Each structure stands twice: as structure tokens, then as C-alpha cells.
Amino acid sequence: AQSVAQPEDQVNVAEGNPLTVKCTYSVSGNPYLFWYVQYPNRGLQFLLKYITGDNLVKGSYGFEAEFNKSQTSFHLKKPSALVSDSALYFCAVRATGFQKLVFGTGTRLLVSP
């Protein structure tokens, strides 16, 4: 079975500092990994995905994520946080051959001025 863990309910960071939002996964076979962001009263927006190839994936709004197969992790990162990055972030995984995308429970990111 596929599963995703986001161990932190909330991450607090000061504007200008680097941020990391953690995600670990469990699948059989090769994973397809995604990050989505949800702003207040909005649907989810796609940020980035890892399918194959380079372990460092760059996405929208200056975000990037690093795929680490040995640690089964796909942490979301940004070198310098903005107040406008404050939102709810979801990691998701799909296993090879499966249609279903499984989401984590979400991590709320709060960036203070």
C-alpha cells in the first residue's frame, strides 16, 4: 500500500530564512512524488513533481525538492522564505501502475515578517 507521512503539522520560519517541509513515503516499486500548495479558501495548486532523473527538482515560486531514495524522503525546500509562502502544503505519492494519488495530512507553513 502507498502512504505518505508529513511529520510536522506546522513549520514556522522568519522571512528571508531557508525553509524545509518534510515528507517521507512508502510504496512498492518506483514512486512518483508531488508537492501541492493550498492558499486560504482555495483549491490545491501544483508545485513540482519527481518522476525520474535528477534527484533535485525545481518547481513554481522558487521551491525545490530533493528525492532521496535511501531515506524514502521528498522534502520541500526554499532558500529564502516569503510571507506570501504561508499556506498549507501537501506531499503526495503514486506507485507505478496505480492511478491513485495518496496525499499526506498536510503541513501548515507560517512565515513571519
Which residues contribute to the site for other proteins (CB under 8 A)?
A: 6, 9, 32, 34, 36, 41-46, 49, 51, 90, 92, 94, 99-106
Q: Which is nearer to other proteins, 10 or 84 (CB)?
A: 10
Q: Which is nearer to other proteins, 44 or 82 (CB)?
A: 44
Q: Which is nearer to other proteins, 5 or 15 (CB)?
A: 5
Whether 77 contacts 65, CB under 8 Å: yes
Residue with grid cell 490545491, as numbered in its chain: 44
Enumerate residues 6+ apart whose C-beta is below 8 A from 27: 2, 3, 93, 94, 95
- Nearest distance, CB of residue 62 and other proteins, angstroms: 18
